[in-house]
Amino acid sequence: MKRSTIHTDRRKRMIVANWKLHPSAIEAARVLFTHAERAAAGARGIDVVVCAPYVYLAAGSMELQRARLGAQDVFWEQAGAYTGAVGPRMLKGMRVSHVIIGHSERREHFGETNETVRKKVRAAVSAGLHCIVCVGEKSREGDPARSAAFVKEEIEEGLRGVPKKYAKRIIMAYEPIWAVSPGGPDTPENSTEMALFIRRIFYGMFGREAARSLKVLYGGSVNAKNAEAFLREGGVDGLLVGHASISARSFSDIIHIAGRARRVRV
């Protein structure tokens, strides 16, 4: 696939909030939803998704219209004796359209593997959810070839067996683990390389059209100061924002920046 055939101009920008285990009270969640909605309504041509803890999804489904509602995880079964689990159809029923799958914190603290990612993605896309699938290497200093091989394996194993017709429901997030807060951000040069690499792997699995329309996000210590650089020069279609998304001000600023920043062609 030639570089010129996979430029990103035709894909709509996407800004995703990942609140993680925040905020601690529903009132604060409502404030964040309200501000995200307002910023989303004011920014043209941007898809905004707010991935909130399960307990705030009902509030989110009331507050969000222009912005979309997302979850941070999902189980792979639709129903059954699985105490504590939440299935894809339950999320759909709450007006959830997106779900983050395979975040590095889920892999680290909850024992998720490429195999659980695969089961979750397959269940979620077949229920009509859009999956934001996270991949990324552990260390900045490691051998680049090994990092690439690690990411390749995450994608190939995590998405194996997903029917081609559902490829359009997948969004890839490149989140190098070392860059996630409290680490420091990656560089736009590296995210460009990795976005291209991820798109190539997707091409190999799902074909040209799917690779062309695939959105690749960057995540890891994104804030209102560095968002523009990643959006303009980072070769990505959007951002996955953790800590800066639990400040109404920062997240709104990032959405506004995304509405303004022009892309440099890769």
Is residue 157 annotated as a catalytic residue, yes or no? no
Is residue 175 annotated as a catalytic residue, yes or no? yes
Judged by CB under 6 A, does residue 242 bind ligand PGA? Answer: yes
Q: What's the helix, strand, coil split of the chain in %, to 5?
A: 50, 15, 35
Stretch that binds ligand PGA, among 22-30, 141-149, 158-166, 239-247 (CB under 6 A): 239-247
Judged by CB under 6 A, does residue 240 bind ligand PGA? Answer: yes
Output the DSSP codes for 48-107.
EEEE--GGGHHHHHHH-SSSEEEES---S-SSSS-TT---HHHHHHTTEEEEEES-HHHH
| DSSP state for residue 217 in the 8-state scheme | E
Selecting among 35, 37, 98, 103, the annotated active-site residue is 103
Q: Please enumerate in sequence order all residues whose Cβ is within 8 A of that of 33, keeping only pairs 6 or more positions apart, or say none.
A: 50, 52, 56, 59, 60, 63, 64, 67
Stretch that binds ligand PGA, among 57-65, 106-114, 207-215, 238-246 (CB under 6 A): 238-246
Print the binding letters for residues 169-208 with ligand PGA: x by CB under 6 A, - otherwise: ------x----xx---------------------------
Please give the Cα distance from 74 to 154 (Å, whole number).
Answer: 18
Helix axes 144-159, 188-206, angle to 10 degrees: 40
The residue at minimum Cβ distance from ligand PGA is: 242
Nearest approach in angstroms of CB 20 to ligand PGA is 7
Selecting among 112, 137, 154, 175, the annotated active-site residue is 175
Nearest approach in angstroms of CB 239 to ligand PGA is 9
In which element (H, E) is residue 195 found?
helix 188-206
Which of 87, 219, 234, 238 contacts ligand PGA by CB under 6 A? 219
Stretch that binds ligand PGA, among 61-69, 138-146, 147-155, 216-224 (CB under 6 A): 216-224
Residues that bind ligand PGA (CB under 6 A): 18, 175, 180-181, 219-222, 240-244
Cite the active site residues: 103, 175
